[in-house]
């Protein structure tokens, strides 16, 4: 479903601020893979997701999504293939628009028909059912402005919207990091539910190693712009947090794993 081949990306090349964020990065995901991504600050995790989404062109390498080479495709053109949820709950939704308008926009992504003709009763009933699956009471607030929702409610809605058009890939970048622990757990549980129900191929960045172990069928660790650990299946199920710390120290040649991997 995804193939990253020898991806290199250096920001501000040739200047004193030059920073190689991705360094011959290789990663292949099978259809339905749910991969958790961990690594220290600056390891290149967000840059990898941004490269996949086409936020900037990469310097070298190729990106193939579901058999389509998208390396030179604009961010806009790739958007139809992807669902994204960011750390900031303010980013994924339009705050001055109603819940149902946000859903309708997500549903009409890539279509000519905008919101001009309004939302049909059938669509409205669909959205109500979808929102009911979140179990947050949002099904009774279709016409509430999204800006009035809590951070957790917004992230849950953003997840729904990201999954609505059956994206080839779902990209989650620390999407629960800004939420209180209880809400974070709830949103994570919803993520799991949405990924499973829609059979979505998913990359989920987290700084929480317990979450990285508990979710997904595969775990990768990044360091210095490449994948340094890749564990799947039964082996992943047996992982513990101390195992991960030891792996990180070995892979990055650093004894400061505890500092760099921000435990929670």
Ligand X SMILES: Nc1ncnc2c1ncn2[C@@H]1O[C@H](COP(=O)(O)OP(=O)(O)OP(=O)(O)O)[C@@H](O)[C@H]1O
Position among 36, 46, 176, 208 found at the interface with Mg ion (CB under 5 A) = 46
Closest contact distance (angstroms) between CB of 97 and ligand X is 29
Choose among 156, 152, 157, 147: nearest CA to 97.
147
The radius of gyration of the chain's CA atoms, rounded to the nearest angstrom, is 19
Q: Please list every residue from 15 through 54 that binds ligand X, using CB under 6 A.
A: 19, 21, 39, 41-47
Rounded Cα distance, 167 and 115, in Å: 21
Choose among 186, 241, 229, 177: nearest CA to 205.
177
Rounded Cα distance, 71 and 61, in Å: 8
Residues in binding contact with Mg ion, number by CB under 5 A:
2
Q: Which one of 45-53, 61-69, 99-107, 212-220 is the stretch in contact with Mg ion (CB under 5 A)?
A: 45-53
Helix (H, G, I), strand (E, B) or coil at 138: helix
Nearest to ligand X of 10, 217 (CB atom): 10
The edge-to-edge listing of strands for the beta sheet with 19-29 is 19-29, 2-11, 60-65, 68-69
- Select from Mg ion, ligand X, none the partner in contact with residue 153, using the beta carbon and a kind-dependent cut-off of 5 to 8 Å: none
Nearest to Mg ion of 39, 216 (CB atom): 39
Closest contact distance (angstroms) between CB of 29 and Mg ion is 19
Nearest to Mg ion of 46, 93 (CB atom): 46
Rounded Cα distance, 171 and 205, in Å: 8
Nearest to ligand X of 160, 219 (CB atom): 219
For position 11 contacting ligand X by CB under 6 A, the verdict is: yes
Nearest to Mg ion of 49, 136 (CB atom): 49
Q: Which one of 25-33, 41-49, 77-85, 233-241 is the stretch in contact with Mg ion (CB under 5 A)?
A: 41-49
Rounded Cα distance, 132 and 128, in Å: 6
**The two structure tokens encoding residue 84:** 């994204």
Strand partners of residue 63? 4
Pairing of strands 60-65, 2-11: antiparallel
Closest contact distance (angstroms) between CB of 47 and ligand X is 3
- Select from ligand X, Mg ion, none the partner in contact with residue 154, using the beta carbon and a kind-dependent cut-off of 5 to 8 Å: none
Choose among 2, 1, 56: nearest CA to 27.
2
Nearest to ligand X of 45, 175 (CB atom): 45
- Select from ligand X, Mg ion, none the partner in contact with residue 41, using the beta carbon and a kind-dependent cut-off of 5 to 8 Å: ligand X
Binding interface with Mg ion (CB under 5 A): 45-46
Binding interface with ligand X (CB under 6 A): 11-12, 19, 21, 39, 41-47
């Amino acid at each position: 479903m995804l193939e990253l081949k020898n991806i290199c990306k250096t920001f501000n090349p040739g200047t004193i601020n030059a920073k190689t964020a991705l360094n011959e990065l290789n990663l292949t995901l099978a259809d339905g893979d749910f991969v958790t991504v961990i690594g220290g600050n600056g390891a290149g995790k967000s840059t990898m997701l941004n490269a996949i989404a086409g936020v900037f062109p990469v310097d070298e390498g190729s990106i193939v999504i579901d058999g389509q080479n998208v390396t030179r495709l604009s961010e806009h053109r790739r958007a139809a293939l992807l669902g994204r949820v960011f750390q900031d709950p303010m980013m994924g939704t339009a705050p001055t628009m109603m819940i149902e308008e946000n859903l309708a926009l997500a549903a009409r992504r890539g279509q000519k028909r905008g919101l001009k003709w309004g939302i049909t009763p059938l669509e409205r009933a669909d959205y109500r059912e979808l929102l009911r699956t979140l179990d947050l009471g949002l099904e009774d607030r279709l016409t509430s402005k999204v800006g009035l929702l809590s951070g957790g409610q917004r992230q849950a809605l953003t997840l729904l919207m990201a999954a609505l058009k059956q994206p080839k890939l779902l990209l989650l970048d620390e999407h629960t990091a800004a939420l209180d622990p209880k809400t974070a757990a709830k949103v994570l549980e919803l993520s799991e539910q949405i990924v499973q129900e829609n059979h979505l191929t998913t990359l989920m960045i987290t700084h929480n190693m317990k979450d990285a172990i508990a979710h997904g069928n595969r775990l990768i660790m990044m360091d210095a712009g490449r994948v340094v650990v890749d564990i799947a299946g039964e082996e992943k199920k047996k992982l513990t947090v101390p195992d991960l710390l030891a792996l990180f120290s070995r892979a990055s040649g650093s004894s400061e794993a505890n500092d760099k991997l921000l435990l929670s």
